[in-house]
A and B are shown apart, each in its own frame.
Chain A
């Protein structure tokens, strides 16, 4: 089973149309990976779908980096009882 980080990178690569190999945890979605406003929302929606979780909108959209998303999603998965590979 892929780790959370691998799955976050895969979703990010698909939504933002970038090479997953080039995505690093310290990358900012907007500044480094070019996420526009609607893509940020699409990312959140895609993370929810990928992990089967519900995220609070404002909190989720406040996450700026790939590493931040991994931490945030890990926390949500634990809180919502979703099995994950860390």
Chain B
């Protein structure tokens, strides 16, 4: 490895450099991509123009009603219509949340689809999901959908062990018959390459995709097949130098540049079995898939899918602006999901009860001085969730003072100093040191004690 040592003199200063071109606070931290990435593929260096992602029409697609429902009892029709409405609100008029897919097999499936479309939203566009069975296209046609996903499993685990095809050729012919049926029916097929990160890429995946591209040459652009890369078991990795079939950059290169599938017809669908789901999805965006398939709060089969709300914030970070996205609808959706019984862990990013709550006194002290010190971005503005302090034995006087000011809604010079909060802080500490308490103190308890121990402030800042 080349010697890269060089001196690094201190750049002294008396004013902080808060790096606000990246950490603007009123937006999520931005991701500045300055240079191409290089990957060695088949022994040759290949450049990927990562900065170009800013100008590409990347988007989020949703499978909350399909993969998301495979991991839970079914939603009611009313619930799905409400969720669809909020998905539209998040994605905004530009359709950052571009599509969502529906099962079409039952009467309820079809009624849900009809009611969602009756809302009149342009986005997310409703698409279908069917098995790779010719007869199923009747359902897509009857539903009047322009596009449907179809399962085209591509690893030998599926081809031979699950689907029991006698050969790869028989499998490919079967899939292509269904694709042809879709094209005949005027429905754009979206081929879901299930288990692609465990497939024989050269032996099956690329020949199949070549054939799809060939079939697409004789149909109008609006019908040309799309390809969804399904990392069914979460085996995909983003690391440079990783081998196929696990390398996401190499998979995308093969399909995008060798087979010629344009980025706008490539989509990534991941699973979280190895905790890589979000970064793998973002990697797919950077290396050439325009669509990232997600579910709300990552809820999906087994360990789940790329979380839609994570993709929303990644999108903003990459694009450098909100692009019509309504991030507060993420909180609205989380509240709604909780209300219908979907559990969201307290520490879950962006929407968990405690995602921006600190209980360490030293962090609370930082929050009290400047909330940016321990808050990821302006969560009050973007999510309607001010940073909070959980009151425990670790909270300290700073944390109690922060809680009091948040409770009274006091900002800037109006904030109450910690000296004025000392009786409340003493009560909190005694709960643990004298009373031997082992649980956190609830907001309700603290409110009652604030009223008792800080009566002048209570009178001044509350109606009571």
Contacts and interface: CB of A to CB of B under 8 A. Distances in A.
A60 B419 CA distance: 10
Nearest to B401: A41
A22 B361 CA distance: 31
A4 interface: no
Nearest to A46: B422
B451 interface: no
A48 interface: yes
B396 interface: yes
B397 interface: yes
Interface in A17-54: 37-38, 41-42, 44-45, 48
- Interface of chain A, main secondary structure: helix
B417 A57 contact: yes
Contact of B426 (A42, A44, A55): A42
B361 A37 contact: yes
B396 A44 contact: no
A55 to B, nearest CB: 8
B429 interface: yes
* Interface size class, chain A: 10 to 19
B418 interface: yes
B425 interface: yes
* Interface size class, chain B: 10 to 19
A41 B429 contact: no
28 contacts: A37-B361, A37-B396, A37-B397, A38-B396, A38-B397, A38-B422, A38-B425, A38-B426, A38-B429, A41-B397, A41-B418, A41-B419, A41-B421, A41-B422, A41-B425, A42-B422, A42-B426, A44-B419, A44-B422, A45-B419, A45-B420, A45-B422, A48-B419, A55-B419, A57-B417, A57-B418, A57-B419, A60-B419
B433 to A, nearest CB: 10
B402 to A, nearest CB: 14
A44 B421 CA distance: 12
7 interchain residue pairs of minimum CB distance: A57-B417, A45-B422, A41-B422, A41-B397, A45-B419, A42-B422, A44-B419
A41 B428 CA distance: 14
Interface centre among A37, A41, A60 (most CB of B within 10 A): A41
Interface in A35-86: 37-38, 41-42, 44-45, 48, 55, 57, 60
Interface centre among A37, A42, A48, A55 (most CB of B within 10 A): A37
A45 B419 CA distance: 6
Contacts of B426: 38, 42
Nearest to B425: A38
Given A38-B396, A44-B419, 10 more contacts: A37-B361, A37-B396, A37-B397, A38-B422, A38-B426, A38-B429, A41-B418, A42-B422, A42-B426, A45-B422
Contacts of B429: 38
A63 to B, nearest CB: 13
A48 B361 CA distance: 24
A21 B408 CA distance: 42
A7 to B, nearest CB: 18
A42 B429 CA distance: 12
B413 to A, nearest CB: 13
A66 to B, nearest CB: 19
Interface in B415-453: 417-422, 425-426, 429
B397 to A, nearest CB: 5
B63 to A, nearest CB: 50
Contacts of A60: 419
Contacts of A44: 419, 422
B106 to A, nearest CB: 61
A38 to B, nearest CB: 5
A57 to B, nearest CB: 4
Nearest to B362: A37
A48 B423 CA distance: 14
A37 B395 CA distance: 11
A27 to B, nearest CB: 21
A38 B425 CA distance: 7
Contacts of B425: 38, 41
A60 B417 CA distance: 12
A48 B426 CA distance: 17
Nearest to B420: A45
Contacts of A57: 417-419
A77 to B, nearest CB: 17
A57 B420 CA distance: 10
Interface centre among B419, B420, B421 (most CB of A within 10 A): B419
A64 B418 CA distance: 18
A37 B360 CA distance: 14
